[in-house]
């Protein structure tokens, strides 16, 4: 009987779980901490983490719609003598980083038709089997790629040798400056002077995720990213917590 009573007591203790280990006056504090931390994680993962692809696509559609409905002479009006125009958008980042036609589409308009012509860097199997693809070439040397693709002077590039050789995926879009250009912050920072040379300006940036943090001004998580000037820094709770974020940068051709 004594053994049976002891077993019942142990089973009851196990069923109580964390309640046995936490003082009654601390239970509410533990519950509140769990609610707050889970809510913060839910908000970050649901609203901010890797949200840049959808955010930049939405911004592009809004800006293009604005162009289509503006009167001639407005700051962002399309400079063309025809009612039917094509908007060129170049995504200089890993292939399939953003949605394309599923989100980049326009409804009918009485002000004339407007087509969207996107270009993203090639990383197709056929390209990888025979040569260095655009995606690899860009990430290997962003300055060289931008200088080559848009016909900038050789002095614009810091390197005279192409990554993986000169045999890469050429396209008919070489040397055509787009209406919009999208890049991640690290590559955009590296080629920022070349983008200005192309006659483009930064118009927006979209948070893609946290890649570093500094606690109490000393302890640093993700030090390499945190100390990289390409990434924006934001102070959270005064100077107790500072986070570094990766972003997508949107550029627009100057009129």
Cβ atoms < 10 Å from Cβ of 54 = 13
Maximum CA extent, the chain: 98
On the 0-12 / 13-18 / 19+ scale of CB atoms within 10 A, 208 is: buried
Q: What is the pTM for the complete model shown?
A: 0.72
Model confidence over 207-233: pLDDT tens digits?
A: 888 888 888 878 888 888 888 888 989
Identify the band that residue 65 occupies on the pLDDT scale cut at 50, 70 and 90: confident
- Least reliable range by pLDDT among 31-35, 151-155, 160-164: 160-164
Residue 48 makes CB contacts below 8 A (sequence gap 6+) with: 207, 209
- Residue 197's pLDDT is 92
Average confidence score pLDDT of the chain: 75
Of how many residues is the chain composed? 255
Identify the band that residue 82 occupies on the pLDDT scale cut at 50, 70 and 90: very low
Q: Determine contact, residues 235/215, Cβ cutoff 8 Å.
A: no
- 171 pLDDT above the threshold of 80: no
- Least reliable range by pLDDT among 133-137, 146-150, 230-234: 133-137
Identify the band that residue 180 occupies on the pLDDT scale cut at 50, 70 and 90: very high
Identify the band that residue 161 occupies on the pLDDT scale cut at 50, 70 and 90: very low
- Residue 79's pLDDT is 41
Model confidence over 1-26: pLDDT tens digits?
A: 545 555 555 555 555 554 556 666 67
Dump strand ranges (E) for the chain: 85-92, 114-120, 180-184, 200-215, 219-221, 232-236, 241-253
- Residue 5's pLDDT is 53
Give me the helices (H) in the chain, please.
Answer: 2-16, 18-21, 27-47, 52-69, 125-130, 134-140, 142-149, 185-190, 192-197, 223-226
Angle at CA 223, nearest 5°, toward 249 and 45? Answer: 55
Phi and psi torsions of 117, nearest 5°: -120, 95
- Residue 251's pLDDT is 96
In angstroms, the CA 46 to CA 48 distance is 6
Taking alpha carbons only, the member of 167, 77, 159 closest to residue 130 is: 167
Q: Half-sphere exposure of 52 toward its Cβ, with a 13 Å CA cutoff? A: 21
Identify the band that residue 173 occupies on the pLDDT scale cut at 50, 70 and 90: low
In angstroms, the CA 90 to CA 195 distance is 12
- 90 pLDDT above the threshold of 80: yes
Identify the band that residue 31 occupies on the pLDDT scale cut at 50, 70 and 90: confident
Dump strand ranges (E) for 73-195: 85-92, 114-120, 180-184
Q: Quick one: average pLDDT of 188-196?
A: 94
- 166 pLDDT above the threshold of 50: no
């Amino acid at each position: 009987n004594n053994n049976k009573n002891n077993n019942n007591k142990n089973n009851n203790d196990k069923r109580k779980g964390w309640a046995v280990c936490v003082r009654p006056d601390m239970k509410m504090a533990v519950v509140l901490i769990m609610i707050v931390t889970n809510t913060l994680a839910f908000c970050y993962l649901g609203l901010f983490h890797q949200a840049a692809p959808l955010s930049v696509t939405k911004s592009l559609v809004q800006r293009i719609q604005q162009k289509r409905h503006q009167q001639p002479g407005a700051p962002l009006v399309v400079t063309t003598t025809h009612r039917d125009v094509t908007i060129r958008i170049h995504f200089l980042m890993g292939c399939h980083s953003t949605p394309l036609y599923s989100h980049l589409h326009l409804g009918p308009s009485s002000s004339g038709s407007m087509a969207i012509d996107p270009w993203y860097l090639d990383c197709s199997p056929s390209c990888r089997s025979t040569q260095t693809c655009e995606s690899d070439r860009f990430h290997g040397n962003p300055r060289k790629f931008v200088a080559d693709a848009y016909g900038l002077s050789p002095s614009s590039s810091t390197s005279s040798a192409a990554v993986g050789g000169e045999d890469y995926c050429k396209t008919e879009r070489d040397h055509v400056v787009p209406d919009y250009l999208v890049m991640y912050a690290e590559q955009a920072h590296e080629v920022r002077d070349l983008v200005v040379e192309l006659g483009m300006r930064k118009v927006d940036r979209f948070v893609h995720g946290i890649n570093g943090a500094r606690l109490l001004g000393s302890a640093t998580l993700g030090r390499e990213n945190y100390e990289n000037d390409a990434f924006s820094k934001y102070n959270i709770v005064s100077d107790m917590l500072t986070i570094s974020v990766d972003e997508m940068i949107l550029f627009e051709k100057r009129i």
